[in-house]
Amino acid sequence: MSYYRYHLFFCTNKRAEGAERPSCGYCDSGRLRGYVKSRLKELGLAGAGGARANTAGCLDRCEEGPCLVVYPEGVWYTYIDEADLDEIIQSHLVEGRPVERLMLPPEPPESD
């Protein structure tokens, strides 16, 4: 058994202005990770046997919008706001059903 039932990693990377690739950190991902951390505590889901929301550096899915990954399943999500994150918490963490409308493809795109 794992120490946490779910581990959420939020990309909060910020590249220099003018960088060729976008950065999740400029999409408010740091603040929104803090929101999830607070919500997990409010709902009694945080801590050992529950869930943990961590900051991650670049997860290399920059062009797909702000992203987070939920382990142990390895489900990748994009999100816009608190409502999307509340849906992920309720559906995925509480009910065990990943939120398909917010999921990113599990595999990298094929190179030509």
pLDDT value, residue 109: 67
What is the residue extent of each domain of the chain?
Answer: 6-102
Beta strands in 1-112 (DSSP E): 6-11, 51-56, 67-71, 75-78
Q: What is the pLDDT along the chain (112 residues), one digit of tens a residue?
A: 689 999 999 999 888 888 888 888 888 999 999 999 999 999 999 999 999 999 999 998 888 889 999 999 999 999 999 999 999 999 999 999 999 999 998 776 665 4
pLDDT value, residue 24: 86
Q: Cα 101 vs. chain centroid, distance in angstroms?
A: 14
Residue partners of 65: CB distance under 8 A and separation at least 6: 24, 27, 78, 79, 80
| Burial category of 22 from C-beta neighbours within 10 Å (exposed 0-12, middle 13-18, buried 19 and up) | middle
**How many angstroms separate the Cα of 56 from the Cα of each of 30, 42, 60, 100, 101?**
10, 23, 11, 23, 23
pLDDT value, residue 62: 82
- Check: CB of residue 85 under 8 Å from CB of residue 8: no
Residue type, 49: G
Which residue's structure tokens are 């509340």? 86
pTM given for the model: 0.91
CATH superfamily of 6-102: Glutaredoxin (3.40.30.10)
How far apart (Å, rounded) are the C-alpha atoms in residues 52 and 75? 15
